[in-house]
Chains A and B, each alone.
Chain A
Amino acid sequence: MLDKDKASEIFEQIKKYSSADEVEILFYGGKSALTRFANNTIHQNVAEENYVVSVRTAFGRRTARATTNKFDDESLKRVVQAAESLSKVQHPDPDLLPMPDAGEGARATPIPGRYFAETAAITPEGRAGAVKKIVGVAAKHKLTSAGIFSTAESVEGIFNSRGLADWHTQTSSEISTTMLATDSSGWQKANSPNVAQLDAVKLAEIAARKALESAGPREIPAGKYTVILEPAAVLDIVGFMFFDFGGLAILDQRSFLNNRVGTQIFGENINIWDDVGHPLQSGAPFDGEGMRRQRVHLVENGVVKRLVYARASAEKMKNSEHKDKVGPIEPTGHGFPIPNEMGEAPMNIVFDAPREPKTVDQMIATTDRGVLVTRLWYIREVDPYEKILTGMTRDGTFYVEKGKIHHGVRNFRFNESLIHMLSNVEEMGTPVRASGEESFDMVVPAMKVREFNFTEVTKF
């Protein structure tokens, strides 16, 4: 593994090669492996090692970036030259700030250790052994299994010519599995920096139960239903709004929060933070410019109170027509590597626990007529300001009546506004680390939502 000392040596070399006013280096990469199975067989099984150095040079207010995965002298000289050549032909950017120094910004948000030797030590045999257990569950229930078991150790680092130097190392592991029956399926997914937290058999058994219990799905008409969204379904749909929580999105007038910051747009029971230090969160405690990620209360009792900012976005906002309408304005450590068009976004989302958390079973028990949703799929934005999203249910959709699951149903298409959805949350569970396929991982609860808008039904 590339370590901070070696990265520091490379940075010193790059500084010697550069004639720019300022130089910034990002490092990322690591070792990763993924064992993939389908039809109860391991059919793809891969491993990779790759490290990247990304050089940003600045001449006054001109900046650009070049990236390579080769660390020999010639390649490092070439990547510096490429960054400098690109920088020199830029038009000066009046919003570009000098690079931050080590002391700039607020104090670091402490994060728990995210490197686990047990995760790094997993072998192909170890992954195959876990897959064998999942396939065993499928065989026991006469189902067909598919899925993945992946592990990785990764590094992320930043150095700049003003003395900033930061480094983050972590491990990750993930299991997801789909169990397929003749006309139904079930799915589960979990991940953690610590592989010991993953229980392959438990995930397989839950996915199998969902496949079996949704067999023979019946068609019920589209319309507005009370839905119980499991955490993965919540994650995948709400994830589509957080790129609008950046200051630059407001300045660009591409955010659904334009003219809505400080107003009650969600129910009073919705409280959302961005918190890289949360024990169930993951990732580095610094952003693409090296600023420390701050804990930010984005939504307070349904009111959007705070946005996140890269340094330049904060400066620009302070001088904009929006400055009195967007809450506190300061760099929060959520910027993307410069140069970029998007500015910043909160990437460590944590929903607050409700006063009286309910389990999914308790939500079902209080539902007179509704739909239980395991997972949502192929979600896309239909309307950027009303935040209407479309997508499908998948891998375990059930009809609930008089407090009980009755039967599986054919999958629905939804067209639902996130503003509407988060205003209609009747009950929530205890937030958990959830993982889906449409959005980044978050700490979210299961939700019971009234009047969720299903517009069509598919044929399976």
Chain B
Amino acid sequence: MRDIASWALNVATLRGTTYADARVADDRSRALSTKNGKVGHASDSESLGIGVRVIADGAWGFAASDDLSRAAVEATAARAVDIAKASARVKQHDIQLAPEKPATAEWTTPCKIDPFATSVEQNIDLLLKIDSELRSVRGVTLAEANMNFRREEQWFVSSEGANIHQTKYTTGVGYAAHAFAGSEIQKRSYPNSFGGQWQNKGYELIGELKLVENARRVGEEAVALLKAERCPEGVFTIILDGSQLGLQIHESVGHPIELDRVLGMEANFAGTSFLTLDKLRTLRYGSELVSMVADARQEHGPGLGTFAFDDEGVPAQCTPIITNGLFTGYLSSRETAHTIGANRSGGTLRAEGWNRLPIIRMTNVSILPGKKPLTREQLIASTDDGIYMETNRSWSIDDKRYNFQFGCEAGWEIKNGKRTRLLKNPSYSGLTTEFWNSLDAICSRDEWVLWGTPHCGKGQPQQVMGTGHGAAPARFAGVKVGSAYKGT
């Protein structure tokens, strides 16, 4: 495959490019799902191709093809150069890349059990067992479960001499129980909503999650929500579980720190960011307890944003994003690093596959756990009056990533340090910086989980990417609750 990529580089260089890279990627995935006692989906998929990225006449061009014959690869490289020259017709300045020492490397996700080597029959049996547990609860009207595996092998070479071979494994699993009665549909999911938990791991993830053990409880909670009281409207202290906090981080920290958004490069689609360059090292993003990093390194954990090198050959790094509440860092690339005075990319450029141009993506954007030992139950016990919310149901944020509203699947009233009644349809809303400044407690390392967000959309043509978010349950004071149902 390296030879194939090199054919592209040779043509690009001969045609007068000042920079070129080529990625050959071999992508394999399996999707299994069940619904109400039957297999819903069973499919395997593979995709192999090459993407060639060049700078010519000071502008970018990119072309991709599924045809790996020498003639087709060379034609693809030539097409990328032609496209770059067309781009140069509408430019304000020449592209400059931050320097990066070209690496030669091999890397594979630490993977104890190759998920593709496991028995499909047993995997379906596991999903059907979960399904059976969910539907054993009277009132559950729809049970869904899914299991997904992916293996991405990539060869990256550049005209600067980089030569990197990486293989990433991803495993995802989850399920949901729906209950419909009267004029209401309620739902509970495990371990997270919208596909469950996803990590860069092998099949061992499946065994770690106590899937069958939690199924009946999840079904019972879905049905119980039908009879629960609606979450009140007002201003409350709230506690978010780790999975919901992970999505809160994704939307209100992860996206606004993307430097391409900040610089207006996503203005037509994903939007821009309230985090203009003047806010670096001046904005009080959160309270003193809020420290976050963007960490792609393996030592951060098996997140969906974990790798050895990004898709322009920059090594994985840890960038402090918020340090004791102060905004300290953006997600950057070789093209954008200079705009924040950095002499090196933060290593966050990633592509969905061989046929997509790499763009700035979140790696693992995580809040650091509290330093003092604090469990979720201790956090609840230390709260006089509040609402505990668990598992995302809806999420929305404006195009500068400032005004947000989240709904959760279930809430519980907290009175005098105890979880009391179950509440349906909990939601909360606010402004990003006001919200993070209201954080007054966060649980410690034992409660911290690296959650996966497998379907983050960005770019045109749109690309879907997995991102990681480490989070522990946390408490926020004075939060607006319930406006999702206000006036409806």
* Chain B associates with chain A: yes
Measuring CB to CB, which residues of chain A are less than 8 angstroms from any residue of chain B? 29, 32-52, 63-70, 79, 82-83, 85-87, 89-91, 93, 95, 123-125, 127-129, 131-132, 135, 144, 146-148, 150, 176-178, 180, 185, 187, 223-224, 252-254, 258, 339-341, 377-386, 388, 390-392, 394-395, 411, 413, 415-417, 420, 437, 453, 455-460
Q: Most chain-A CB neighbours within 10 Å: which of B33, B61, B359?
A: B61
Separation in Å of the B418 CB from the closest CB of chain A? 29
With beta carbons under 8 angstroms apart, the residue of B63, B403, B461 that contacts A392 is B403
Separation in Å of the A36 CB from the closest CB of chain B? 6
Separation in Å of the B76 CB from the closest CB of chain A? 8
Cα A33 to Cα B405 in complex, Å, equals 35
Separation in Å of the B81 CB from the closest CB of chain A? 10
Separation in Å of the B234 CB from the closest CB of chain A? 14
Q: A45 with B86: in contact, given A50-B64, A89-B120 (CB under 8 Å)?
A: yes
Cα A48 to Cα B351 in complex, Å, equals 14
Q: Residue B355 at the A interface, CB < 8 A? A: yes
* Chain B interface residue number, banded: 35 or more
With beta carbons under 8 angstroms apart, the residue of B395, B483, B485 that contacts A380 is B395
Separation in Å of the A353 CB from the closest CB of chain B? 30
Which of B44-52, B161-169, B317-325 interfaces with chain A? B44-52
Q: Are A135 and B90 in contact (CB under 8 A)?
A: yes
Cα A125 to Cα B486 in complex, Å, equals 51
> Given the complex, which residues of A lie within 8 Å of B341, measured CB to CB?
none
Closest 8 CB pairs of A and B: A124-B86, A458-B403, A341-B40, A253-B180, A146-B267, A64-B42, A146-B268, A42-B87
With beta carbons under 8 angstroms apart, the residue of A87, A95, A386 that contacts B488 is A386
Q: A378 with B488: in contact, given A66-B44, A69-B47, A177-B268 (CB under 8 Å)?
A: no
> Given the complex, which residues of A lie within 8 Å of B43, measured CB to CB?
64-67, 86, 339
Q: List 16 A-B contacts (CB under 8 A).
A: A37-B90, A40-B92, A45-B60, A47-B62, A64-B44, A79-B46, A127-B86, A340-B41, A341-B35, A378-B396, A382-B407, A384-B187, A385-B183, A392-B397, A392-B398, A392-B403
Cα A144 to Cα B272 in complex, Å, equals 13
Q: Are A83 and B44 in contact (CB under 8 A)?
A: yes
Separation in Å of the B444 CB from the closest CB of chain A? 32
With beta carbons under 8 angstroms apart, the residue of B79, B90, B397 that contacts A41 is B90
> Given the complex, which residues of B lie within 8 Å of A82, measured CB to CB?
44
Cα A132 to Cα B431 in complex, Å, equals 37
Cα A132 to Cα B461 in complex, Å, equals 20
With beta carbons under 8 angstroms apart, the residue of A45, A66, A79 that contacts B62 is A45
Q: Are A385 and B87 in contact (CB under 8 A)?
A: no
Separation in Å of the A144 CB from the closest CB of chain B? 7
Q: Residue B299 at the A interface, CB < 8 A? A: no
Number of A-B contacts (CB under 8 A): 287
Q: Residue B66 at the A interface, CB < 8 A? A: yes
Which of B258-266, B368-376, B435-443, B467-475 interfaces with chain A? B258-266
Q: A224 with B180: in contact, given A43-B60, A131-B90, A135-B90 (CB under 8 Å)?
A: no
Q: Are A42 and B89 in contact (CB under 8 A)?
A: yes
Q: Residue B477 at the A interface, CB < 8 A? A: no
Chain B residue at smallest Cβ distance from A385: B185
Cα A392 to Cα B401 in complex, Å, equals 11
**CB-CB contacts below 8 Å: B224-275 with A:** 263-269, 271, 274
Q: Are A90 and B44 in contact (CB under 8 A)?
A: no
Cα A268 to Cα B438 in complex, Å, equals 48
Cα A146 to Cα B271 in complex, Å, equals 10
Q: Are B268 and A148 in contact (CB under 8 A)?
A: yes
Q: Are B89 and A386 in contact (CB under 8 A)?
A: no
> Given the complex, which residues of B lie within 8 Å of A37, measured CB to CB?
90
**CB-CB contacts below 8 Å: B121-150 with A:** 121, 124, 128, 141-142, 144
> Given the complex, which residues of B lie within 8 Å of A48, measured CB to CB?
63-65, 355
Q: Most chain-A CB neighbours within 10 Å: which of B44, B65, B394, B407?
A: B44
Q: Are A70 and B46 in contact (CB under 8 A)?
A: yes
With contacts A70-B46, A341-B33, A458-B431 known, what are 11 further pairs, Cβ within 8 A?
Answer: A39-B92, A40-B92, A41-B92, A48-B65, A64-B43, A93-B39, A254-B142, A339-B43, A383-B488, A420-B488, A460-B398
Q: Residue B84 at the A interface, CB < 8 A? A: yes
Separation in Å of the B126 CB from the closest CB of chain A? 13
> Given the complex, which residues of A lie within 8 Å of B86, measured CB to CB?
35, 42, 45, 123-125, 127-128
**CB-CB contacts below 8 Å: B288-308 with A:** none
Q: A253 with B268: in contact, given A43-B60, A386-B183, A458-B403 (CB under 8 Å)?
A: no
Q: Are A411 and B398 in contact (CB under 8 A)?
A: yes
